[in-house]
Amino acid sequence: MANKLVSDMCLPPHLAHLLAARRLTTAKALALLDERVRLGGGGRLATTLCGLDEALGGGIPLGKLTEVVGPSGIGKTQFCLKLALLATLPECYGGLNGRVVYIDTESKFSSRRMIEICQKSFPQIFRQEGLAQKMAGRILVMRPASLSDFTKSLEQMKVTLLQNDVKLLIVDSVAAFMSSENERGTTGFTQHPLRWALSFLKSIAELTRIPVVVSNQVRSQSNDDGYHYSFEVKRMGDGDGAERLESHLVAALGIQWAHAVTIRLVFESHSGQRFIKVAKSPMSPAVAFPFIVESSGITLLNDEGIDVSGPEITSIRCQESGIKQCT
Ligand SMILES: Nc1ncnc2c1ncn2[C@@H]1O[C@H](COP(=O)(O)OP(=O)(O)OP(=O)(O)O)[C@@H](O)[C@H]1O
């Protein structure tokens, strides 16, 4: 049954298209459909970026790990700030009406910027006395000074999240802990401590049923401004033989990480334009949305999305003079 072809199943055209876009050709795809149903339409944090929400089946899934990855200066923190804001919003505004734990490893969190995004996106909230302050007070910002601090704070996290009605956990970003020493595994841990932390994050998401969003920066040794990163590991037997593509990111975070992430949003730039690409998602088509960052935060230039195919799905492009060069 698992090997029955999707093309023999008389599925509605839009579903057949989705499955084809993800190269899901057998009944295994139906199991993924069940997963989507199980998550349910309400089990999401809407990003309010309409095209992206539609592609993700309503937004960022609860109980799963979402990775936001891209070069420096592209807009990952802007996206995280917006998500944090949205999670605190009352449900009537599409929010989760909860608290947020924001692990800010690079001191990039800015309450001033968040208020600006809120003012521009939801001016009506500022008209309700005390609501903006109430929402701001719902975000707990933690600044671990080291990987060891980070792992310690995670160990206490499950209880904190459950006790405090936390509806979103953000780690912005894990790149801060990817020192060359950690990458070489010389810290004396039998398992890389960052990998431990990341698999722990996955278990936190599953236990607490909240969305866990982790930002991750790609770095290049190259001075070229147009290059590719492959971040998925090519599995043995996929396509052309037993070749394995171990990219910089996989080397730093491990193959487990590549698989632990349910949703991967790649922020990239090329041809003078920034894009959010749905690079990994169980049921979404691989699409990219052009975006800009403005005072109200990230805005999509269109909600249709551009189909992405071939190696573009598993690469990250950084080619824009207007943003900081990846280092
Ligand atoms: N108030 C604002 N109005 C318009 N654009 C802004 C505003 N604040 C920040 N930006 C834009 O957001 C971008 C920086 O985004 P962000 O800090 O999210 O990058 P990042 O991807 O998190 O980078 P890094 O990996 O280095 O932390 C810049 O291009 C900047 O111009």
Which CATH number is 151's domain given? 3.40.50.300
Using a 6 Å cutoff on CB, does residue 216 contact ligand 1? no
Q: How far, in Å, is the centroid of ligand 1 from the Cα of 73? A: 5
Using a 6 Å cutoff on CB, does residue 262 contact ligand 1? no
Whether 126 has a pLDDT exceeding 70, the answer reads yes
- Closest by CA position to 158, among listed 195, 215, 206: 206
CA 160 to chain centre: 22
Total structural domains in the chain?
A: 2
Read off the pLDDT band of 238 (50, 70, 90). very low
More confident of the two residues 241 and 149: 149
**Arithmetic mean of pLDDT, 238-261:** 56
- Could you tell me if residue 325 is inside a domain? no
Using a 6 Å cutoff on CB, does residue 269 contact ligand 1? no
Partners of 293 in the β-ladder: 298
Whether 234 has a pLDDT exceeding 50, the answer reads no
Same structural domain, 105 and 134? yes
Q: What span, in angstroms and rounded, lies between the C-alpha atoms of 287 and 18?
A: 11
Q: Please tell me what DSSP assigns to residue 324.
A: P
- Residue 313 pLDDT: 77
**Arithmetic mean of pLDDT, 297-315:** 88
What is the span of the domain harbouring residue 296? 41-314
For 114, phi then psi, to 5°, come to -65, -40
Q: Find the helix or strand (DSSP H, E) in which 213 lies.
A: strand 212-217
- Residue 33 pLDDT: 52
1 burial type by CB count under 10 A (0-12 exposed, 13-18 middle, 19+ buried): exposed
309 burial type by CB count under 10 A (0-12 exposed, 13-18 middle, 19+ buried): exposed
Using a 6 Å cutoff on CB, does residue 238 contact ligand 1? no
- Label the pairing between strands 60-61 and 44-45: antiparallel
| Closest residue CA from atom 24 of ligand 1 | 72
Ligand 1, residues 69, 77, 118, 324: which to mutate, most atoms within 8 A of Cβ? 77
Whether 42 has a pLDDT exceeding 60, the answer reads no
Q: How far, in Å, is the centroid of ligand 1 from the Cα of 59? A: 22
**Arithmetic mean of pLDDT, 30-40:** 51
Q: What span, in angstroms and rounded, lies between the C-alpha atoms of 65 and 268?
A: 20
Read off the pLDDT band of 109 (50, 70, 90). very high
Same structural domain, 129 and 201? yes
- Residue 167 pLDDT: 95
Same structural domain, 169 and 252? yes
**Range from 85-89, 127-131, 184-188 that averages highest in pLDDT:** 85-89
- Residue 242 pLDDT: 34
Q: What span, in angstroms and rounded, lies between the C-alpha atoms of 231 and 251?
A: 9
Q: Find the helix or strand (DSSP H, E) in which 124 lies.
A: helix 123-126
Read off the pLDDT band of 184 (50, 70, 90). very low
Q: Which amino acid is at 315?
A: S
Same structural domain, 133 and 245? yes
Q: Answer whether 194's CB lies under 8 Å from 47's CB.
A: no
